[in-house]
Amino acid sequence: MERLEYKKYKGLENIITIDLHNDYTIAAIRAFDKETQEYIVDLFLNDNQIDNWKPINSYQNIRIKSNRNRINSVILKQVATSFEQGYFDDDFQKYEYETRCFDIGNTELERERLCDN
């Protein structure tokens, strides 16, 4: 497996992207909760050919204790570990299924449109 790295998303400080090298990318959006002194992180999945970010439901509102200098590395490590252990496999399959359903529905609607003309 290729080594995973993070990049800032469009130069934004609180969003990083991690290319999984399997045609998918994960975006992590983080916010600091001053009351609990934790970061709250939400992960989103994107098929690199479609550009349609979908939330990963089991990875919403993750609470992480870290300092500001290390938070992106901590998120990267958590994503890499989850990916290696197959925790995103269901999300990949769901994404592919929804895409297939869209394509089939779009084809059917286009066929109906052409028949009406």
Task: Indicate whether 110 pLDDT > 80.
Answer: yes
Whole-angstrom distance, CA of residue 19 vs CA of residue 32? 24
Q: How far apart are CA 54 and CA 99, in angstroms?
A: 12
pLDDT over 90 at 15, yes or no: yes
Average pLDDT over residues 49-58: 90
**What confidence score (pLDDT) does residue 33 get?**
96
User: pTM score, two decimals?
Assistant: 0.86
1 pLDDT above the threshold of 70 = no
Is the pLDDT assigned to residue 111 strictly greater than 90? no
Task: Summarize the confidence of residues 60-85 as an average pLDDT.
Answer: 96
Task: Kindly indicate the confidence band of residue 92, based on its pLDDT and cuts at 50, 70 and 90.
Answer: very high
* pLDDT for res 21: 95
Ramachandran sector of residue 37 (left: φ over 0; alpha: ψ -120 to 50; beta: rest)? left
